[in-house]
Amino acid sequence: MDMVSVDVLCSLPVSFLKIGSGDANNFPLLQHAASKKLPMVVSTGMQNMETVHSVYKLLMAAKSQFCLLHCVSAYPTPPCDVNLRVIQMFKQEFPDIPIGYSGHELGTDISVAAVALGAQVLERHITLDKCWKGSDHVCSLTPTEFRNLVDQVRNVEAALGNPVKKFQPSEMACYNKLGKTLVAAHNLSAGDHITADSVKVKVAEPKGYPAEKYGDILGKELVRDIQEDESIMFIDVI
């Protein structure tokens, strides 16, 4: 990439500019690209953290809209060199911009893992023939592989959900079959007070006091007779 190339691209209806890893430390080029006021995507292969901080400061000072991609410029990249945790570190260091991943590894599993670790932008090269000359064809994706990657990413995005642990409606069938409830350990009479010896945990129907409410039911008074192994309902105690 050079400044003339930037000018040519900006004369076309492009929606953003991509700065490859080889130009991530080309600060005059970055400054020129930033002056075009188009969104920018900057890969960071072959760069150290000091340089990445400099790129961030330069583009922030230029009031650019940009994202940084963690990248390792090896074709193909060995899994042991990918170091996906850099994505999380970038997100901590630069919380006010999107962080992504540019992958040159074989296959798609590592790229999918990058999304699970928080990558908001994902770059993979595409090829029509992995045997063509050029260092990146062997680790590029065919159109079919690329389609599969997109499907995998969408599944992971859906699976990430939110950080709220709750009972899901899809679990109801399993709960109806395996969910535990509190039942009478032996025949109990109205007026009895529930003790640890009065109840046990079992799969039973109907579902009554859930097993996790064991501590809450101790000491409560029964309002009706309950037979051994019969579920104790909320309305059965006061």
Residues 61-76 have pLDDT tens digits of 999 999 999 999 999 9
* Boundary-marking domain end, from 130, 160, 190: 160
Q: Looking at the structure, do residues 33 and 105 belong to the same domain, yes or no?
A: yes
Residue 18 has what pLDDT?
98
Residue 233 has what pLDDT?
97
pTM of the model: 0.87
Q: Looking at the structure, do residues 153 and 176 belong to the same domain, yes or no?
A: no
CATH assignment at residue 135? 3.20.20.70
* Boundary-marking domain end, from 116, 141, 160: 160
Q: Looking at the structure, do residues 36 and 81 belong to the same domain, yes or no?
A: yes
Rounded average pLDDT over 121-133: 97
Residues 155-164 have pLDDT tens digits of 999 999 999 9
Whether residue 184 is contained in a domain is answered as yes
| Pairwise CA distance, residues 128 & 134, whole Å | 13
Q: Looking at the structure, do residues 129 and 11 belong to the same domain, yes or no?
A: yes
* Boundary-marking domain end, from 160, 190, 216: 160
Residue 189 has what pLDDT?
98
Q: Looking at the structure, do residues 57 and 74 belong to the same domain, yes or no?
A: yes
Q: Are 56 and 34 spatial neighbours (Cβ–Cβ below 8 Å)?
A: no
Whether residue 58 is contained in a domain is answered as yes
Q: Looking at the structure, do residues 43 and 152 belong to the same domain, yes or no?
A: yes
Q: End-to-end CA distance of the chain: give it in Å, rounded.
A: 77
| Domain membership of residue 35 as a residue range | 3-160
Residue 212 has what pLDDT?
96
CB burial string 113-127: b at 16+ within 10 A, e below? bbbeebbeebbbeeb
Residue 100 has what pLDDT?
99
Q: Looking at the structure, do residues 147 and 185 belong to the same domain, yes or no?
A: no
Alpha-carbon Rg for the chain, nearest whole angstrom, is: 29
Whether residue 238 is contained in a domain is answered as no
Q: How confident is the model at residue 165 (pLDDT cuts 50, 70, 90)?
A: very high
Whether residue 92 is contained in a domain is answered as yes
Helices 49-61 and 85-93 pack at an angle, to 10 degrees, of 40
For a pLDDT cut of 90, what percent of the chain falls above it? 99
Q: Looking at the structure, do residues 30 and 86 belong to the same domain, yes or no?
A: yes
Q: Looking at the structure, do residues 136 and 175 belong to the same domain, yes or no?
A: no
Q: How confident is the model at residue 88 (pLDDT cuts 50, 70, 90)?
A: very high
Whether residue 61 is contained in a domain is answered as yes
Q: Looking at the structure, do residues 212 and 137 belong to the same domain, yes or no?
A: no
Residues 97-118 have pLDDT tens digits of 999 999 999 999 999 999 999 9
CATH assignment at residue 223? 3.90.1210.10
Rounded average pLDDT over 179-191: 98
Q: Looking at the structure, do residues 99 and 128 belong to the same domain, yes or no?
A: yes
Domain total in the chain: 2
Residues 199-217 have pLDDT tens digits of 999 999 999 999 999 999 9
